[in-house]
Structure formats: structure tokens, C-alpha cells
């Protein structure tokens, strides 16, 4: 058995050409998981009665079950009871599950950041007569963003890798392209090496940005 | 100036921290609150601006009166604007410089234009000797410096009364002096203030009235001469013996 380098370099651009699917899945889900995450985080931060308890169960459920199972349960299972899901394109279904799943993790990252702003500063703001809104927007959020950015970037990297699940429901993303290619040539070694290299390079780039961001966040004050 | 009537605070079902406290404080009074730990000194002070919501009682500062039995958010905010608090752990806004810390309430609460707020901020930073640190973030200042900025922040809103909650308890011993000097200067200018402290000798020097709290009540109330030099209350005598040794 020898590694076919020629085939590897031939196939690499072919598989990499599907990065647009992988990246748009990642970006769209990143947006929606951020929206969900912020909403969830605020609900538990303000301890909204009933809702925050419900959320705790939801987050524990999402974190405690495999995301592939969630995808299948949603796309194949729930299609039996909902015609919307039945008629849903697999790409949309994957984006929905990625958003819901990562939303739970993002909400934890944001909640942690909000809590990290100490009670003393809140008391100081209140004692000066500032309103809750002023305190949140001028004191809490600016500090929380700095704390939240590094974990949020971790979530983004995880989301990027999670998008490889899309091939399970037939989406032709990077992973899907490799699967199709390899079943034709039986050169599994080379095809999946391509996938790994592509993911690794993008992740390295994201990590580089994360490092820079972290240093800048720490340097401000 | 300040009138507290029948103030009580119960935590949970049965932990009675404050038991039916009433007192009045006049303008220009410098009042020190002394007493053993856990007797409700800080809780009492925090009730004065509703950082701690009293169980019962009315609090009047200036011309704002709030009754614990039926208080609204607007009333509480109004009451808070009558006083300003200096905290044990400074509680400066960490995302703002010394100057911005002092300006914050002037801009957000008093709606002053930025230029005017800045002018006021610089005036008070100068007063506490922190003018040269105006652009420093709290993380770049010592505890004593942070506390002096905290005092400037409290002074800047022009409160009827300054509330000090153990302002030197979190400081390294060599930094206590600079903060006490600042407070002493304010006392000499007859700034109305209530000072919860463990610094007996300092209280003796700057206060013109001392409240001694014990078990959630005001156990003794009088001039420093009466309270510290000639204590009548047996608990007070015990306390003073204990701390001066």
C-alpha cells in the first residue's frame, strides 16, 4: 500500500471546491446560533421565571445527545409529523440542527461572560442611580464581550467542523464530495486525507485570528 | 437631612439583621458607625440607598422619602440620587478610565453634556490627588488610588450624603493612610457623611457623632467623647477593650 500523491494533489482542488457549501453552512449557522445564544443567555441571566428552568433542561438535552442523532431525529424522524420538515432541503435541515445545537453552547459562553462582570460594579452603577439598561449597555456588555470572544471563537471552530455532518443527509459539502469521489476510485486514504488537510488549514487560520483577537481583548484594559 | 424610621431587615425566614432602627442625621454631620462584625452596620448603610431592600421602615434623604411597604422603581432611583456610596472593594467600572468612571453618572443619570462632565470629573480627581492618573484603567492603579477615584466618583454627583462602606478594609496597611487623609479632608469641609469603619482612632478624630451597633440595634449614640472616651454601655466597653488591644 502506498500513498498516491499524484491522485491526492489532483483530488484536493476538486474536494476543496465544495468549501463554499461547508463555509456557507458554517456562517449561516453561526449567525443563527449567535441569535439563539444571546436570547437564551439573556433569559437565564435575568432568570426569567419558567423559561430559564425550561432552558436549562433544553441545554442539558442538547449537550447530552450526539449531534448526528439530533440531525437524524429531526430530518428523518420528525418528518413523519411535520410536512415542513418533510419538504425541507437537507442543507436547510443541517443548518437548523447546527444552529439549535451550537445555540445551546453559545448561550453558555455568553452567560458565563455576563456573570463574569462582578456584582460590585453592578451595585456601583445602581447606587449612582443608573438604570438597568444603562448599566447593561455601558458597563456589563462591553466587559462581557471581551470575556466572551475567545470561547465564542471556539464555538465557531467547532461549528465549522460540525458542518461535516451534512454529508450524512446527502449534502455535497467537502466531506460529501470526498465520500462520493472515494467510492468511485476506492482511494479512501487519499480522499479523506484531502478532507483533513482542508479542515485543518481553515481551523489553523481561525485559530490565528482567535489568538490575535485574544491578545487585543486583553490589551485594552 | 436623613431620617430613618423603624428600619428592619430580615433575610430569609428568620435571620433578623436589623431590628427596628430609627435615627436622624443633620446636614454637615460626620457620623461613624462602629460595632462588631455581623451586627448589621453594612446592611444598614446599604439599606439607605436600597442596594439592600429593607423589610420595613421609611428612609428619607433630602426631600425624598421611600417606604419599604410600598416603594416603586422610580422612587428608589430618586432616593439613590440623593446619596453616593464608596465601597469596600472600590467597585470602579473596569472598562472605564479614572476620568470616565467619575464622568459616568454625570452623563447617564444627570444628563450633563460631556464637556461639563469632564470638567467636573477633573475637578474632583484633582481634589483626591488623582489628576495625573485620569487616563489610567482601574487595573493599572493601586487599591488606594482606586479608592480615591471611587471617592471622586461619589463626590462628583454632588450627593446630599456620602456613604462609606468600610472604605479601607480591603487595602494594604501602607495604603490606608492616603484614603483616610482624603476622607479627613472631606470631613473638615463639613461634607455630610456616614462612615462604616473599623478604624476606631480615625472615627474618633473625624466624626462628630458615633453610632455603636450591636445585634442589629443602635446600642449607643453620642459624640466621640461620650462613646469612645467614656463608654457607658457594657457591650461597647467590651468592644472597645477588644479592638484597642
Confidence of residue B24 (pLDDT cuts 50, 70, 90): very high
Q: What is the pLDDT of residue A37?
A: 96
The pLDDT of A13-41, averaged and rounded, is 95
The pLDDT of A146-160, averaged and rounded, is 92
Q: What is the mean pLDDT of chain B?
A: 93
Encode chain B in three state secondary structure: CEEEEEEEEEECCCEEEEEEEEEEECCCCEEEEECCCCCCHHHHHHHHCCCCCCCEEEEEECCEEEEHHHCCHHHHHHHHCCEEEECCCCCCCCCCCHHHHHHHHHHHCCCCCHHHHHHHHHHHHHHCCCHHHCCCCHHHCCHHHHHHHHHHHHHHCCCCEEEEECCCCCCCHHHHHHHHHHHHHHHHCCCCEEEECCCHHHHHHHCCEEEEEECCEEEEEECHHHHHHCCCCHHHHHHHHHHHC
**pLDDT, tens digit, 9 for 90 and up, residues A6-21:** 999 999 999 999 999 9
- Whether A131 has its CB under 8 Å from any CB of chain B: the answer is yes
Task: Assess contact for B191 and B160: CB atoms under 8 A.
Answer: no
The pLDDT of A23-51, averaged and rounded, is 94
The pLDDT of A54-76, averaged and rounded, is 95
Q: Which of A204-218, B106-120, B164-178 has the highest mean pLDDT?
A: B106-120
Among chain B residues, CA nearest to A117: B94
- How many Å lie between the alpha carbon of A206 and the closest alpha carbon of chain B? 27
Contact state of A221 with B95 under an 8 Å Cβ cutoff: yes
- Whether residue A165 is predicted with pLDDT greater than 90 in this model: the reply is yes
Contact list, B90 vs chain A (CB under 8 Å)? 120
Q: Give whole-number Cα distances, A51 to A38, A111, A196, B168, in Å.
A: 14, 15, 41, 42
- How many Å lie between the alpha carbon of A221 and the closest alpha carbon of chain B? 6
CB nearest to B80's CB, from A118, A127, A143: A127
* Domain boundaries defined on chain A: 5-220
How far is the C-alpha of A130 from the C-alpha of A124, rounded, in Å? 9
Confidence of residue B245 (pLDDT cuts 50, 70, 90): very low
Query: How large a percentage of chain B has pLDDT more than 70?
Result: 99
User: Which of B36, B24, B31, B3 has the alpha carbon at shortest distance from B215?
Assistant: B36
Contact list, B138 vs chain A (CB under 8 Å)? 221
- Whether residue A138 is predicted with pLDDT greater than 90 in this model: the reply is yes
The pLDDT of A120-130, averaged and rounded, is 95
Confidence of residue A218 (pLDDT cuts 50, 70, 90): confident
Q: What is the mean pLDDT of chain A?
A: 93
Q: What is the pLDDT of residue B14?
A: 80
- Whether A12 has its CB under 8 Å from any CB of chain B: the answer is no
Confidence of residue B244 (pLDDT cuts 50, 70, 90): low
Q: What is the pLDDT of residue A16?
A: 92
- Written out in words, the top-level CATH class of the domain with range A5-220 is mainly alpha
- Whether B69 has its CB under 8 Å from any CB of chain A: the answer is no
Amino acid at each position: 500500500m502506498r500513498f498516491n500523491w499524484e491522485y491526492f494533489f489532483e483530488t484536493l482542488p476538486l474536494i476543496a471546491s465544495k468549501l463554499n457549501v461547508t463555509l456557507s453552512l458554517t456562517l449561516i449557522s453561526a449567525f443563527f446560533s449567535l441569535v439563539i445564544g444571546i436570547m437564551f443567555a439573556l433569559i437565564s441571566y435575568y432568570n426569567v421565571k419558567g423559561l430559564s428552568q425550561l432552558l436549562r433542561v433544553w441545554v442539558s438535552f442538547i449537550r447530552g445527545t450526539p449531534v448526528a442523532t439530533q440531525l437524524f431525529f429531526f430530518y428523518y424522524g420528525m418528518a413523519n409529523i411535520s410536512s415542513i420538515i418533510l419538504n425541507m432541503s437537507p442543507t436547510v435541515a443541517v443548518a437548523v440542527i447546527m444552529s439549535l445545537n451550537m445555540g445551546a453552547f453559545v448561550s453558555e459562553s455568553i452567560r458565563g461572560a455576563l456573570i463574569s462582570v462582578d456584582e460590585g460594579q453592578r451595585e456601583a452603577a445602581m447606587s449612582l442611580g443608573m438604570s438597568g439598561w444603562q448599566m447593561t449597555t455601558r458597563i456589563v456588555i462591553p466587559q462581557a464581550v471581551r470575556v466572551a470572544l475567545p470561547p465564542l471563537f471556539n464555538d465557531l471552530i467547532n461549528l465549522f467542523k460540525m458542518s461535516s455532518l451534512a454529508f450524512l443527509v446527502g449534502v455535497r459539502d467537502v466531506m460529501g464530495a470526498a465520500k462520493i469521489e472515494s467510492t468511485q476510485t476506492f482511494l479512501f486514504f487519499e480522499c479523506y486525507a484531502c478532507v483533513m488537510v482542508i479542515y485543518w488549514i481553515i481551523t489553523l487560520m481561525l485559530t490565528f485570528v482567535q489568538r490575535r483577537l485574544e491578545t487585543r481583548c486583553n490589551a485594552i484594559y | 437631612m436623613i431620617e430613618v424610621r423603624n428600619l428592619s431587615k430580615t433575610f430569609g425566614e428568620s435571620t433578623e439583621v436589623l431590628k427596628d432602627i430609627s435615627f436622624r442625621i443633620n446636614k454637615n454631620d460626620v457620623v461613624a458607625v462602629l460595632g462588631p462584625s455581623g451586627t448589621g452596620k453594612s446592611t444598614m448603610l446599604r439599606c439607605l440607598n436600597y442596594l439592600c431592600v429593607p423589610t420595613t421602615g421609611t428612609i428619607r434623604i433630602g426631600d425624598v422619602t421611600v417606604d419599604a411597604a410600598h416603594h416603586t422603581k422610580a422612587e428608589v432611583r430618586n432616593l439613590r440620587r440623593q446619596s453616593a456610596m464608596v465601597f469596600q472593594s472600590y467597585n470602579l467600572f473596569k472598562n472605564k478610565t479614572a476620568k470616565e468612571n467619575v464622568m459616568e453618572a454625570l452623563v447617564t443619570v444627570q444628563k450633563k453634556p460631556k464637556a461639563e462632565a469632564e470638567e467636573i470629573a477633573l475637578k474632583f480627581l484633582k481634589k483626591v490627588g488623582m489628576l495625573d492618573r485620569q487616563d489610567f484603567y482601574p487595573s493599572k492603579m493601586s487599591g488606594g488610588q482606586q479608592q480615591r477615584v471611587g471617592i471622586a466618583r461619589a463626590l462628583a454627583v454632588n450627593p446630599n450624603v456620602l456613604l462609606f462602606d468600610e472604605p479601607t478594609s480591603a487595602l494594604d496597611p501602607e495604603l490606608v493612610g492616603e484614603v483616610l487623609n482624603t476622607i479627613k479632608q472631606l470631613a473638615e469641609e463639613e461634607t455630610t457623611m456616614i462612615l462604616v469603619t473599623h478604624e476606631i482612632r480615625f472615627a474618633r478624630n473625624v466624626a462628630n457623632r458615633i453610632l455603636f451597633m450591636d445585634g442589629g440595634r443602635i446600642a449607643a449614640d453620642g459624640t466621640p467623647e461620650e462613646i469612645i472616651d467614656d463608654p457607658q454601655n457594657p457591650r461597647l466597653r467590651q468592644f472597645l477593650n477588644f479592638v484597642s488591644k
